[in-house]
Amino acid sequence: MHPLPPLLLAFSLVLISGSSPLSAQVDRYELGQRLRRVELAWQEADEARRAATAKPMDEAVKSFFGLQLRTAAARLDKSYLVVSGREQPSSLVRFAISRRLATLPLLSDTTQPTLAIELQQFYDGQFTRPANATLELKLLRSDGTECAATSLPLPENDVTASWSPENWTEAGDFRITAAIRESGGEEFPLLTQGLSRVEGLESKLAALEQFVDAPPAELAATPRATLKSWLTILKALGAGEVQECDYPAARLLAIAGEVIAHPERAEVLLAESAREHDMWLTLTENRKQAAVRVRAPAGPLPVGARLPVLFLFHGAGGSENMFFETYGAGRAVALGIDRGWLVVAPRQGLGSGPGLDCEALLKALEQQFPIDRERVLLVGHSMGAGQVIRQASSQPELFRAAVALGGGSAVRDAARLKSIAWFSGAGELDFGKSGAVALARSLKTADIPVTYKEYPDVEHMAIVQAALDDVFAFLDRVLTRN
C-alpha cells in the first residue's frame, strides 16, 4: 500500500499481474493516497466507527495481496466512508470518490503556463455523473498558502481540461486540490496531487546528470549514490511518470545544486536538509547500499548531544515511504521527532532485507548525524516485524528495544536477547496475530520480559495506528531506565 513497493518488488508484482510498470506505479500511488485518507479519518473516529471499519479494511488488504489493486482501492474507499460516517453516500460522493485526479506536467519549467487536468474513473462500478456540477481547483504552495484557484464545468466525460493559473511564474513544490460541487451545494474533495516547477529545469537536470556521471573524488559514497537515485526520480517526473509518492522535486533539485557547488560538504548539506524536511538517502557502506527515508529533529543539537535512532521496518508490498505516509498517516515519524530521535525507514524487499544490516546502516548514518548507539530502537510491521527479529537476533548488543506489530515468529536462542526490551502487538482480526503470539510466548519461555497486547476490532493494517500510543509509551519507559 501507499506509498508503496520497493522497485524490485514493484516490478515482480508487475510481472505477476501483467500490468505495465507505469500503470503499476499509478495504482500504488492511488492506493497510498486512499490509505492515508482512511488513516486520517480513523484518527478522528470514535470506537464504534473504528470497529466498523475492520471488515472493509481486511477485505482491502486481502485484495492488495491478491494483486487486485483497484479492487483494493475501492475497498479502501468503502472503509473511508464507513469510518467517516458516510455509510449511505449520495450519488455525488460515490461518483467523486471513485475518481482519480490526474495532472500534468508533474515537473516542469516555470515557463510552462498550463496544467492538463483529467478526472479518471479509477475502478469498476456504476456511478452517476452529477448534473450541473463544477470542478473546484486550488493550487497550493508547499507551506499550504493558496497560489491560484478556479472553477470549471464538470466535463461530461473523462476528458482533459486545461488550466493556466494567472501570473503563475514562481518555482517550487505545489499541491493541486480539487472538489466536485453540485449546483445544490453538496461538495466532496478529491485526493490531491503534487507537482513541481523549476526555473531553468533542463539545464539543471543536465548539470546533475553530468555531475552524477563524473563525480569529483571528494564526493562521499552516500551523497554520490543519493544524487544518482534522485536523478532517476526527477527524470521520470519530468517525463510525466507518476511515482510512488509526491517527491518534492524542486527541493531535491535545489539541494543537488548545492552539492554540485560544494561536493566536499555534501554529507553536511544532506544532514542539514533532513533537519527541516524528510530526506531520501541511499546509504552506502562497503559498496553495499540501502534506500532509506530519514527525518531528524529540527534545529542544531546542543554541543555533545547525540540522537537516539528509531528504525521503522515496513511490511510486504511497502517501501521506505510507508511509515512516513500511510501507517497512521505518518504518526510514528512525528512521535519520534517530537522526542528528539533520528527516524530512519529502510526499504526492504521480500526476504532480502534492507541491503545493509543495522550495524552498517548506523555506520553510514554516523557520517552525517551524531548517533547515540546506546539508544537504538526497532519497530516493524508484518514482514517488518520479522525483520526486527532478524536484526535483533543477529546483533542484540545494538538495540535497547524491539517492537513487532502484526507479525513475527518464535525466536531461536532467545537467551541472547535478554538485553533487549520487547513489545509484541496484534489486532484481534489480524492475520499476523499468530506470529505475534508465537514471538511473545517464546520470549516468555526464555524468561525474557515481553509486553504483549491484542487490540479488539483491529485488523492487519490498522494495528500500527492502534498500537502507536502504547508503543511509544513503552519506548519511553525503556529509555528512562538506568
Q: How far apart are CA 336 and CA 85, in angstroms?
A: 31
At residue 43, the pLDDT reads: 96
Number of Cβ atoms within 10 Å of the Cβ of 331: 18
Burial of 431 (0-12, 13-18, 19+ CB in 10 A): middle
Domain end residue (candidates: 176, 196, 216): 196
Q: Is 168 domain-assigned?
A: yes
Q: Which residues, listed in sequence order, are joined to residue 290 by a DSSP beta bridge?
A: 283
Q: Are residues 43 and 134 in the same domain?
A: no
Whichever domain contains 457, its CATH number is 3.40.50.1820
At residue 266, the pLDDT reads: 97
Nearest to 191 by CA among 267, 108, 287, 96: 96
Q: Are residues 176 and 122 in the same domain?
A: yes
Q: Are residues 72 and 180 in the same domain?
A: no
Q: Are residues 73 and 28 in the same domain?
A: yes
- Entry pTM: 0.93
Q: Are residues 121 and 153 in the same domain?
A: yes
The number of folded domains in the chain is 3
What is the DSSP annotation of 197-230?
A: EETTHHHHHHHHHHHHHS--TTS-HHHHHHHHHH
Nearest to 456 by CA among 432, 434, 426: 426
Q: Is 350 domain-assigned?
A: yes
Structural contact between residues 452 and 424, judged by C-beta atoms closer than 8 angstroms: yes
At residue 23, the pLDDT reads: 63
- Whose grid coordinates read 500490468? 19
Q: Is 284 domain-assigned?
A: yes
At residue 358, the pLDDT reads: 97
Domain end residue (candidates: 196, 229, 261): 196
Nearest to 127 by CA among 103, 157, 152: 157
Report the alpha-carbon angle 257-141-326, nearest 5.
Answer: 90
Q: Is 56 domain-assigned?
A: yes
Q: Are residues 397 and 376 in the same domain?
A: yes
Q: Are residues 354 and 387 in the same domain?
A: yes
| Largest Cα span, the chain | 69
Q: Are residues 397 and 429 in the same domain?
A: yes
Nearest to 308 by CA among 372, 367, 365: 372
Sequence-separated contacts (24+) of 229-235 with Cβ below 8 Å: 229/280, 229/282, 229/291, 230/256, 230/280, 231/205, 234/107, 234/205, 234/208, 235/205
Domain end residue (candidates: 174, 196, 218): 196
Q: Which three cell numbers stand for residue 120?
A: 479518471
Mean pLDDT by 10 residues, the chain (482 residues): 34 35 79 96 96 96 93 97 94 96 96 94 93 94 96 84 92 97 91 97 98 97 97 97 96 98 97 95 94 94 92 94 96 97 93 87 96 97 96 96 97 91 97 97 95 97 97 97 72
Q: Is 302 domain-assigned?
A: yes
Q: Are residues 390 and 450 in the same domain?
A: yes
Strands (E), 80-127: 99-104, 107-109, 115-121
Alpha helices in 315-368 (DSSP H): 322-325, 331-338, 358-365
Q: Is 241 domain-assigned?
A: no
Q: Are residues 315 and 337 in the same domain?
A: yes
Q: How far apart are CA 274 and CA 271, in angstroms?
A: 5
Whichever domain contains 133, its CATH number is 2.60.40.2550
Q: Is 300 domain-assigned?
A: yes
Q: What are phi and psi of 248, to 5 degrees?
A: -80, 80
Q: Which domain holds residue 301?
A: 277-480
Q: Is 155 domain-assigned?
A: yes
Q: How far apart are CA 108 and CA 104, in angstroms?
A: 9
Q: Dihedral of CA 225/229/231/234: which sign?
A: negative
Q: Are residues 387 and 291 in the same domain?
A: yes
Whole-number Cα distances in Å, 70 to 28, 84, 313, 477: 9, 21, 25, 42
Q: What is the dihedral of CA 72, 343, 335, 399, to 10 degrees?
A: 110
Q: Are residues 354 and 455 in the same domain?
A: yes
